[in-house]
Amino acid sequence: MQNRLSTRMLFMVLLPVFVCTLLLVFLLIAFNAAYDVVVGVQEENLRELVRLGSSSIDRLWISPREKSVEALARSPLLQKRIRGEVPFSELHADWESIHPALEGCFFIYYGLEDGTIELYPDLDLPEDYDHRERLSYKKGINLETTSPAWTAPYAEIITGQIIVSTVVQLRDAQNRPIGVFAADITLKGLQEILNQIQLPRGSSIFLLDTEGTPFVGTDVEDVRTGGLPGESDKTFVEYSSPLSNGWRIAVVVPRKSMARSFERLRSLVLGFSFLLFILSAGILAFHVIKLASRAHRLASYFEEVMMENRPLGRVFRSNDEFSFLNKQFNKVILATRRAENERLSREQVFRFIIERSPIGFFRTRSEGSLLYANPYFIRLLGYSPEEMETIDSVERFYADREDRKTFLAELSEKHEVQGRRIRFQRKSGDFFWISMNSLIVPGQENREVFEIEGFLIDATDEVEEQERLRILAETDPLTTLANRRAFFERFSIALGQARQNGESISLIIFDVDRFKPVNDTYGHDLGDEILRLIAAAGEKIIRKGDVFARLGGDEFALLLPASSGEEAKGLASRLQAGIAQIDPPDPLDSFPSISIGICCHGDAEDCSIDELYKKADTALYEAKAAGRNRIVLYTPPT
């Protein structure tokens, strides 16, 4: 059977998909078309309402109050009172007659720069009251025009009532500002005007000050919080042009409420869609139930085959998708069982090799716990299998715990370490060297605690052989002192440290007086014995940290870090005395003397190893020339 859907399955799947798709397309087209039309008309109507509302507030509320306040500020009676030509009682009577006509007027007053203030109605002001600190005064005195201006709504300082002030700047005959005339007006009447504007359900209308903050509106919460929601897919927001005093009107309308007329159409469309959905759902449910039954039978067969290892067979006799799945599953299971058998076989062979290998295999965690160790690993460390199970951390195997920290740092960086040599400690306390290869278990590289796999071998013989070869390469075989190469390597290091630390360093060179005639007369064996005795005598007197070497033939050298010329000369004297006390080997009557040359490198000097060696050699030559068996400290020529 080809790997494709049957005609019946195609029909069963595509029919509900087609019906639902058709319904969805119809719904989208109908809703979008109707919604756009209805909402577009509503938005235009709302814009017109905002324009009418702003015109009404400007015409019915703002303009009358501005005209009244401006008339009062320009009245001759007020000017005479400011000049002191009439008593305040006359102005008071005039304001009292006008006050009822100013709807919502709270206070009428004028205030001058010198602190003078007179108001109506009468009110006992606090002793510390200064009208010049009021918002209305600051607004008016800073005007650049004599036209009325409005403050933002604020809480009246005496009564706490929310008001706005209409202010006019007062000027003297020279047109200089001398004070302000103001009327404090409550917001009475504004709310009534806004409430008369008909809006869709759930909508709000607000009056905003010049800063854009709502102070009157039909939604108390937005007025209280001082902010309006922004326009979005769910909300329509429209602002009017600024009114004559800078205020603006804003409406906030849920877009859903703008399409109420669309409800009937939507109900009709949804009803029709529901019928189509029920029909499609019935057809789909019939086929789904049938599919579910067959799927359950196939799943039960899969579970029995996988969990109970039952023989493979055919669940369905028809030639459909489920029969095809049954056949393909049987093929996969057969292949999986063969692969599993092969894996188990390979695993048994691998474990056989690991368990009997002369290599220590292990698996640990980075925090130190041991997960696995093969028999060779356990024997190598001197434990029994039972004892190895009680080991809490592999750190106890390390002779130096710092070696494990270094190993983990390198492993974390590179994810693999090869050929690292580490000094281990057996259960018995004996130390030995291992060579280890290890890596982080794949997939755990970025974990804080990861697992480590690897193997190790005993590398003690190899390490000891390398150490023996290193010693041979740096040691004079006759005297066991450092040889010439090792001496100059240590000389270079010591000289650098002396310069860095500002210390002096001394170099002693000596050889055996008349050694060649003795060697030629009595043979090399006697000559070698003399050299060994000199080396032994020198090792007894040198300090810890000094370097004693045979440079070749009968020439020896002593390097004395952190020493002065006098200290070097004292050591040379002790060396010369010690050699003089050596019993001469037969057939010599006396032990040969030595001639010594010394050079001291002070912290103020800057010369090379070759220069120091030449200076010490020059001093040795002078000792020879002076009759041998002498000590000469190099002094620069004058």
Mean pLDDT computed over 595-618: 85
Q: Which of 283-297, 350-364, 527-541 has the lowest mean pLDDT?
A: 283-297
Q: Which two tokens stand for residue 556?
A: 């020896």
Q: Which of 9-13, 34-38, 326-330, 565-569 has the lowest average pLDDT?
A: 9-13
518-527, 570-579, 604-613, range with the lowest pLDDT: 604-613
Q: Is the model more confident about 538 or about 193?
A: 538
Dihedral of the CA atoms 339, 344, 345, 347 (nearest 10)? 120
For residue 270, the SS3 value is helix
Domains 64-190 and 475-633 share a fold: no
Two structure tokens written together for 601: 């490198």
| Range of lowest pLDDT (116-125, 168-177, 596-605) | 596-605
DSSP 97-123: HHGGGSTTEEEEEEEETTS-EEEES--
Confidence of residue 424 (pLDDT cuts 50, 70, 90): very high
For residue 116, what are its two tokens? Answer: 């003078």
The DSSP annotation for 282-348 comes to: HHHHHHHHHHHHHHHHHHHHHHHHHHH-PPP--S--S-SHHHHHHHHHHHHHHHHHHHHHHHHHHHH
Residue 637 preceded by cis peptide, ω within 30: no
Residue 447, token pair as written in the block: 């974990």
Q: Write out pLDDT tens, residues 15-42.
A: 766 776 776 667 667 666 666 777 777 7
Q: Name residue, tokens 């740092």.
A: 409
Helix (H) or strand (E) holding 624: helix 609-625
CB 184 within 8 A of CB 163: yes
Sequence-ordered list of residues with C-beta below 8 angstroms from that of 120, at least 6 positions apart, any chain: 92, 95, 96, 99, 107, 108, 109
Report which of residues 298 and 427 the model is more confident about.
427
Instruction: Tell me what pLDDT residue 2 has.
Output: 44
> pLDDT of 295-339, one tens digit each?
777 777 777 777 767 777 777 777 777 777 778 877 887 787 788
Residue 252: pLDDT above 80? yes
Tell which wins on pLDDT, 636 or 599.
599
Residue 180 near residue 140, CB atoms below 8 Å: yes
Least confidently predicted of 357-361, 444-448, 457-461, 578-582: 444-448
At position 39, the amino acid (one-letter code) is V
Task: Please check the confidence at residue 569 and state whether its pLDDT lies above 70.
Answer: yes
User: Is the pLDDT assigned to residue 84 strictly greater than 70?
Assistant: yes
User: pLDDT at residue 524 above 70?
Assistant: yes
What residues does each domain of the chain span? 64-190, 197-260, 357-466, 475-633
Q: What is the pLDDT of residues 140-178, one digit of tens each?
A: 888 888 889 888 888 877 677 788 889 999 988 888 999
CB atoms near residue 1 (< 10 Å) = 11
- The pLDDT score that the predictor gives to residue 604 is 39
Burial 417-432 (b: 16+ CB within 10 A, else e): beebebbbbeeeeeeb
More confident residue, 594 or 302: 594
CATH of span 475-633 = 3.30.70.270
Q: Return the CATH number of the domain spanning residue range 64-190.
A: 3.30.450.20
Closest CA to 133 of 146, 118, 117: 117
Mean pLDDT, residues 118-135 taken together: 83
Strands (DSSP E) contained in 585-636 are 594-601, 631-633
357-466 fold: Beta-Lactamase (3.30.450)
pLDDT bin (cut points 50, 70, 90) of residue 267 is low
| pLDDT tens for each residue of 464-521 | 888 888 888 889 999 999 999 999 999 999 998 888 888 899 999 999 999 999 999 9
Task: Name the token pair of 460.
Answer: 């003690």
- Residue-wise pLDDT tens digits, 352-380: 777 878 888 899 998 989 989 999 999 99
Phi then psi dihedrals of residue 572, to 5 deg: -65, -40
In the predicted model, what is the mean pLDDT of the chain?
84
What pLDDT shows up at residue 211?
Answer: 82
Average pLDDT of the residues in 66-95: 88
Q: Give me the pLDDT at residue 592, please.
A: 95
pLDDT confidence tier of residue 234, bands split at 50, 70 and 90: confident
Q: Would the pLDDT of 457 be above 60?
A: yes
Query: What integer pLDDT is reported at residue 3 of this predicted model?
Result: 45
Chain length of the chain: 638
What token pair was written down for 127? 């002793």
Q: What is the pLDDT of residue 8?
A: 64
pLDDT at position 130 over 70: yes
